[in-house]
Chains A and B, each alone.
Chain A
Amino acid sequence: MNSSLNLWLIPILPLAGAAINGFLGKKSSRQAVTTVALFFSGAAFAMALWVALRFSSLTLPYHEYLAHWIRSGSFSADFAFYLDQLSLVMLLVVTGVGFLIHIYSVGYMWDDPSYYRFFSYLNLFMFFMLTLVLANNYLVMFIGWEGVGLASYLLIGFWFTKDSAASAGKKAFIVNRIGDFGFLIALFLLIRHFGSLTFDQVFQSITPMSPETAGTGLLTAIGILLMVGACGKSAQIPLYIWLPDAMEGPTPVSALIHAATMVTAGVYMVARSHVIFERAPTALTVVAIIGTLTAFFAATIGIAQTDIKKVLAYSTVSQLGYMFVACGVGAFSAGIFHLMTHAFFKGLLFLAAGSVIHAVGGEQDMRKMGGLKSFIPWTFLTMGIATLAIAGIPPLAGFWSKDEILWKAYQVSWVYWLIGLITAFITSFYMFRLLYMTFFGDYHGVQVDTHGHGHDAHGHGEPHESPRVMLVPLMILAALSLVGGLVGIGDRFEHFLAPVFGATDAVEGASHGTEVLLMGVSVAVALSGWWLAYLLYYKRPELPQKIADALGGFYQTVVHKYYVDEIYAAVFVKPLIDGSTRILWQDVDRKIIDAAVNDAGDGARHVSDEARHMQSGNIRSYAGWIAAGSAVVIAFMIWMGVR
């Protein structure tokens, strides 16, 4: 009955696309590259849909064994895939949103000289992300984990001739290495203590442990180390700093990798490891605290940013924080639910922002936009929907998932709930601020005649609407943002995931009133955030500057992102560079290693310089050496004989 699903095709298809475009794309036409890229990512999506259709007839979890990889003693790790409700959700999100963004990119990247390279990387990313999602053990997951990091690096630095893009790529890669270090150590601990990395086996040996005995160390350590890995990938405090810089990449990349899919890999990994976390209360608390702090902290930075993509980047960090809060309070399904809805509306926000940037000819500063709603109505409409969704206005997607998280957080501690609520307010405020600054008021951009001075690289005149190939994905995502939350009504989403996360404790009927009350509070908070943004950025646009002036130093601190980058530079980067320069380079390398090699060479030359005199070409001196040598040998023999 469980005939093979050929799951392996799902990741392999985009890989084939990446290979074809990567090797042959340079000499092919744009149309051919487009066909290949869309066909293979679309085929992966079709496969995923086919799997989803057959899902109810499968015995779960479904395993697919491909080949064995590492066999060492009793330890083994195979190339094998794993499908359960959780993987299916991720699978559909990754392939679905990924496919839409592929379509969008056709329009967005059409004029780029490295068109083929972009799609090759994008397909490569899909391959690694699907490997990560479908893995049946931590090691295969780790391949995907590192692979998406690589793809992210390549795509952030896609315009590598730009210095800032190249260094942003490096920053993302290096910061992620720190997280991966934690992840790796967690894997070593798992091998050491459970002798396996396969999800089933590890979880089977952990399941009998009770939280009390296990909380004494091992599982807590593994949990926290896994969280370190998740912090790197999912941009949480203290490793979130790479994500805002990652906006140097093309906008579709920001949408796909740095909003919808890759950055949620940490959440997925934590949710996948829920068996470990559920038995390590301390680790769970760490996850919840990191999530709460990140959500709040990043949201406050988002208020003061003027770059449209930076606002969205900090918003992403903040929303990822929400997902970790959900995981941290044990509501993994709520976290995954938010992951899914976030993929819809944040993907949409980024794509719409890309459409805006496209419309105004590459400008990203919101202060130079304004009044765009009449120029690009479709972008405005879809972005408005996404903003309503992320702000948590019912009945859009973000409301359901965010409210679910806040409700679960409230059940654990009102502190998480309160901070989450404040964050929701800030989120609503900065998102509507973005909307008003971009689409309302007067256009502040350079006024250009159709052929006049001030043409940019795209050769724009007035802001103009994007081509249809970009608008269609926007509309589909807008539709998903509208209705995507409805699957969560009546805990349906939670029930769907219940076989993975276990049945949740039935919520007592008495608290139902509380739930409705809290729901009302969060809607009120979202609306007041909207109102405040309306007041400050539409009604009284001169007010924000006054408030900023009044706040003075604090405002500057927020604008400069709390100087976190500068602090990291002073505390970690500079000592490292100085230490490497002074000690490792100038002392160790030059004075010890180089000196040893050079001195060995010099010494050999000096010795041979002296020894050269023995071979003078004078026969009698040779004879003298022979005589002296034999004298020494004879003396030695005599001495030995005497002794």
Chain B
Amino acid sequence: MVQSYVPLSYYLLLSGFLFACGVVGFLIKRNIITIFMSIELMLNGVNLSFVAFAAHWHALAGQVFVFFVMVVAAAEAAVGLAIIIAVYRTRETLNVDQVNLLKL
């Protein structure tokens, strides 16, 4: 029986904090790279709560979900970074406010 020395709420608070950081960063930052990182931050905040619950309830499903999320995040990073490079090559900028037309 694994004894959890850190209470669950601590993990959740940290998870929520990370997620909130991600949201705020996503909303206020203009640089696409930063926004991208904010999304990763949100994903990881959620991952943290998954593993915390998984450990707390001794259920493996949460950890499996985390793997899924990480796979998706990796795929997203690959596609996203490719798009960012494509955008930068055409626009010479990474400011999202200047990339608001749905054409390259």
Interface centre among A618, A619, A620, A623 (most CB of B within 10 A): A620
Decide yes or no whether A624 CB sits under 8 A from chain B.
yes
| Interface: A627 (CB within 8 A) | yes
Taking CB atoms and an 8 Å cut-off, the chain A residues in 572-630 that contact chain B are 617-620, 623-624, 627
Q: Is A620 a contact partner of B23 (Cβ separation < 8 A)?
A: no
Cβ of B26 within 8 Å of any chain A Cβ, yes or no, is yes
Quick check: B27 and A623 within 8 Å, CB to CB? yes
Q: Mark B14-58, 1 if CB is under 8 A from A, else 0.
A: 000000000100110000000100000000000000000000000
Assembly CA distance A623 to B23 (angstroms): 8
- Cβ–Cβ contact B27 & A617, under 8 A: no
Q: Does B100 contact A617, Cβ atoms closer than 8 Å?
A: yes
Q: Are A627 and B27 in contact (CB under 8 A)?
A: yes
Q: Residues of A contacting B74 with CB < 8 Å?
A: none
Minimal Cβ-Cβ distance residue in B for A630? B23
Docked complex Cα distance between A618 and B95 (Å)? 13
Q: Are B26 and A623 in contact (CB under 8 A)?
A: yes
- Complex Cα distance, B23 from A618, in Å, reads 16
A626, closest chain B residue (CB): B23
Q: CA A574 – CA B35 in complex, angstroms?
A: 77
Within the complex, what minimum Cβ distance (angstroms) separates A526 from chain B? 103
Chain A residues within an 8 Å CB radius of B100 = 617-618
In the complex, the chain A residue whose C-beta lies closest to that of B30 is A620
Mask, B58-90, CB within 8 Å of A = 1, is 000000000000000000000000000000000
Residues in A whose Cβ lies below 8 Å from that of B26: 620, 623
A627 & B96 in contact (Cβ 8 Å cutoff): no
Chain B residues, Cβ within 8 Å of A617: 100
Cα of A619 to Cα of B39 in the assembled complex, Å: 13
Q: How many angstroms from the CA of A620 to the CA of B26 in the assembled complex?
A: 7
Interface of B is mostly: helix
Cβ distance B16 to chain A, nearest Cβ, rounded Å: 10
CB distance from B5 to the nearest CB of A (A): 27
- For A620, what are the chain B residues with a Cβ–Cβ distance below 8 Å? 26-27, 35, 96
List the A side residues contacting B96 at CB < 8 Å. 619-620
Smallest CB separation, B88 vs chain A (Å): 18
Please, which residues of chain A bring their CB within 8 A of the CB of B35? 620
What's the Cα separation between A341 and B26 when bound, in Å? 103
Which residues of chain B come closer than 8 Å to A624, judged between CB atoms? 27
> In the bound complex, what is the Cα–Cα distance between A618 and B26 (angstroms)?
13
Cα A523 to Cα B35 in complex, Å, equals: 118
Shortest Cβ distance from A617 into B: residue: B100
Determine how close the nearest CB of chain B comes to the CB of A635; give it in whole angstroms. 13
Closest to A618 in B: B100
Contact with B along A265-282 (1 / 0, CB 8 A): 000000000000000000
Distance in angstroms between the alpha carbons of A627 and B28 in the assembled complex: 13
* Docked CA distance A627–B35 (Å): 15
Once the chains are docked, how many angstroms separate the CA of A79 from the CA of B83? 84
Find chain B residues with CB under 8 A from A619 CB. Answer: 96
Question: CA of A179 to CA of B27 in the docked complex: distance in angstroms?
Answer: 78
- Tell me, rounded to whole Å, the shortest Cβ–Cβ distance linking B34 to chain A: 12
> In the docked arrangement, what's the CA distance between A498 and B27, Å?
103
Output the least CB separation between A213 and chain B (Å).
Answer: 90
Complex Cα–Cα for A617 and B102 (A): 9
Q: Within the assembled complex, what's the spacing in Å between the Cα atoms of A623 and B26? A: 8
Docked pose: A627 CA to B96 CA in angstroms: 19
Report how far A617 CA is from B96 CA in the complex, Å. Answer: 12
Complex Cα distance A619/B23, Å?
13
Cβ-closest chain B residue relative to A631: B23
Q: Which residues of B contact A618 (CB under 8 A)?
A: 100
Give per-residue flags for A110-130: 1 if the beta carbon is below 8 A from chain B beta carbons, else 0. 000000000000000000000
CA distance A542 to B96 in the complex (A): 109
Give the Cβ gap from A638 to chain B, nearest Cβ, in Å: 12
- In the bound complex, what is the Cα–Cα distance between A22 and B76 (angstroms)? 80
Alpha-carbon distance A620/B23, docked complex (angstroms): 10
Bound-state Cα–Cα, A627 to B25, Å: 12
CB distance from A83 to the nearest CB of B (A): 86
Complex Cα–Cα for A620 and B27 (A)? 6
A617 smallest CB distance to B (angstroms): 7
Tell me, in angstroms, the Cα distance from A624 to B27 when the chains sit together.
7
Chain A residue with Cβ nearest B26: A623
Q: Which residue of A lies closest to B97 (CB)?
A: A618
State the CA gap A319–B24 with chains docked (Å).
99
Chain B residue at minimal CB-CB distance from A627: B23
User: How many angstroms between the C-alpha atoms of A151 and B100 in the bound complex?
Assistant: 74
Whole-angstrom CA separation of A137 from B96 in the bound complex: 86
With a CB–CB cut-off of 8 A, which chain B residues contact A623?
23, 26-27
Q: List 13 A-B contacts (CB under 8 A).
A: A617-B100, A618-B100, A619-B96, A620-B26, A620-B27, A620-B35, A620-B96, A623-B23, A623-B26, A623-B27, A624-B27, A627-B23, A627-B27
Known: A623-B23, A623-B26; 11 extra A-B contacts, CB below 8 A, are A617-B100, A618-B100, A619-B96, A620-B26, A620-B27, A620-B35, A620-B96, A623-B27, A624-B27, A627-B23, A627-B27
What 7 pairs across the A-B complex have the smallest Cβ distances?
Answer: A627-B23, A624-B27, A620-B27, A623-B26, A623-B27, A618-B100, A617-B100
